[in-house]
Amino acid sequence: MARKRQRRKPPSGHRVLVIGLGRFGGSLALELANRGWEVLGLDNDARVVQDFRQQLTHTMVVDSTDVEALRQVGAQEHRRAVVGIGTDLEASILTTSLLVDLGVPNIWAKAINRQHGRILEQIGAHHVVLPEHDMGERVAHLVTGRMLDFIEFEDDFALAKTVAPAEATDLPLGESRLRAKYGVTVVSIKREGADFTYATADTVIRRDDVLIVAGRTNDVERFSELV
């Protein structure tokens, strides 16, 4: 029988407003709740709200395009809000705009494409998330390369999880000169049966070690191809 995941004790003052409890907003709200956050979940569908009633701190049926409705549920009292509305672009944009007007200082908004994302940024969303697009890019790197995992950040910077290449083994990192040759930095190392540890110039990499490397996206990809 699967073990029930225990919720962490809520940190003081850690609460978030999640608007739109679809696949993205709903899974995000549940994960935040499991991490001990106080979550107020809003949706305009009573059946959806009912599904989350026992799992989130508070849930309400609310039309998030109505500024008075948002005020009544205390949206302006939250320092963090997530707009998870995806299919109804008008509702997504208007809801985000109202949260900006209410002075919420940290707003994350889901976009279904780059054009939608640009509009959300223009009206004041502090963070725009394109879950399908971002996941597609990540999986593409994994499918076409030899990486075990891959995360790309802005400004052409990435982290990759990869197996140590032969030329880097049995040498201290300081002597292998990986940074000079490939433009990447080995951040962390994991040996079979052990946890990840920080890498230093004196760290000796062994065959089958798993590495976390950081650098420019193209450099990280090129290094991972050495495996």
Which domain does 83 fall in, by range?
15-129
Q: Which of 114, 129, 144 is the last residue of a domain?
A: 129
53 burial (CB, 10 Å; 0-12 / 13-18 / 19+) is exposed
Q: Which of 98, 129, 160 is the last residue of a domain?
A: 129
The answer to whether residue 138 is domain-embedded is: yes
The answer to whether residue 151 is domain-embedded is: yes
- Confirm whether pTM is higher than 0.75: no
pLDDT of residue 145: 67
∠ CA 146-190-200, nearest 5°, is: 105
Same domain, 162 and 86: no
Same domain, 214 and 179: yes
pLDDT band for position 13 (cuts 50, 70, 90): low
Spatial neighbors of 161 by CB under 8 A, at least 6 apart, are: 147, 148, 149, 150, 210, 211, 212
* Contact criterion met (CB below 8 Å) for 185 and 179: yes
pLDDT in tens, 38-95: 999 999 999 999 999 999 999 999 999 999 999 999 999 999 999 999 789 999 999 9
Q: Which of 95, 129, 163 is the last residue of a domain?
A: 129
The answer to whether residue 10 is domain-embedded is: no
Q: Is the pLDDT of residue 143 over 50?
A: yes
Same domain, 157 and 81: no
Q: Bridge-partner residues for 42, per DSSP? A: 19, 60
φ, ψ dihedrals at 32, nearest 5°: -65, -40
Say which amino acid occupies 92.
S
Q: Is the pLDDT of residue 110 over 90?
A: yes
Same domain, 116 and 36: yes
pLDDT in tens, 169-189: 998 998 888 999 999 999 999
The answer to whether residue 172 is domain-embedded is: yes
Q: Mean pLDDT score of the chain, rounded to an integer?
A: 89
